[in-house]
Amino acid sequence: MRISRMDLDDVGASPQRIAEAVISQIPDLPIPIPVEEIACALGIVEIRIEPIKSFEGALITTGPEKAEGSILVNARSHPRRRRYTIGHELGHFLHPLHVPPAGGFHCTSDDMSRNNSAGVDTRIRQEIQANAFAAELMLPRSVFLRDLKRMRGLDLEHITELGNKYQVSKEAVARRYVHFQEEPSAIVFSHKGRVRYFCKHDDFPWLDVRSGAPVPAPSIAAASVGSATRATDWSEIDPSVWLSRPNQRGMCEQTLVQQAGYRMTLQALDDDSSEDEDEPALEESWTPKFRRK
């Protein structure tokens, strides 16, 4: 595989544009994305997989100019997570403003899930950018959007299917899935009954949950739904269980039980049927006027 790093020089500092400049150089883009091959074509001379306790991945470079780099990946993690980690570290490697700290970038599993922050902390911002790059590279926008169009509607089973197709973790798929869906939704990630974090569509109301807090007891997410690897059916849920400012619309929820106590819970607002109901009434009120003419 041949990818010119010079072609990335003109695209600036947008993770999306850097990833697109990489992808555009790969003919007949294979899915799942061959991330190791891409990294090696761009100057990563070694990808080491070793058991690590304190972080998920690292990038060590030859110097601040990042001519060459070496990526360390946690052997304890699932192969799909490892692929994402390589994408994330490659993001640090290619981003023109990511100057390696002394000893290189060391990224934790929390860093790998950072997807939004109002903070101005440079390190956090760089982690979010590395994740944005990894998502754009591993779940290429054009192909991913076609998949969403084909699948129609919201369903956690889609996330399982997409994880299999792209060979990345369901969690990484879920963040992008929620972001690109037309219908506003949110996903809460939890572990052993406690909220880890959530991600949401820009138009979905803010969730009243904190990282580390118990999953709200009345939710489907908290209910015992066995150890099934299939998502539950959608169920109606009182919006006040999750939302800080519940609106008039109803809400429904679907949960997927994963391994080792992990769960993800998809939330959507009920169809706003009031608009549809209004239309016939409006037509009726107009009809007599037309008839009088």
Our CB check for Zn ion shows the closer of 127 and 136 to be 127
DSSP string, 158-171: HHHHHHHHHTS-HH
Do residues 26 and 7 lie in contact, with contact meaning Cβ atoms separated by under 8 Å?
A: no
Candidates 128-136, 173-181, 201-209, 240-248; binding stretch for Zn ion (CB under 5 A): 128-136
Query: Is 134 among the residues that bind Zn ion (CB under 5 A)?
Result: no
Among 130, 199, 243, 252, the residue binding Zn ion under the rule CB under 5 A is: 130
Residue entry with tokens 């999306």: 16
Amino acid at 252: C
Our CB check for Zn ion shows the closer of 85 and 181 to be 85
Minimum CB separation of residue 124 from Zn ion in Å reads 10
Query: Is 137 among the residues that bind Zn ion (CB under 5 A)?
Result: no
Among 107, 138, 168, 220, the residue binding Zn ion under the rule CB under 5 A is: 107
SS3 (DSSP) at 86: helix
Amino acid at 261: G
Our CB check for Zn ion shows the closer of 73 and 215 to be 73
Q: Which residues contact 87 (CB under 8 A, 6 or more apart)?
A: 33, 35, 133, 134, 135, 137, 138
Query: Is 132 among the residues that bind Zn ion (CB under 5 A)?
Result: no
> For residues 108-127, which are near Zn ion according to CB under 5 A?
111, 127
Buried b (16+ CB within 10 A) or exposed e, 112-131: bbbbeeeeeeeeeebbbbbb
Residues found near Zn ion in the complex (CB under 5 A) = 107, 111, 127, 130
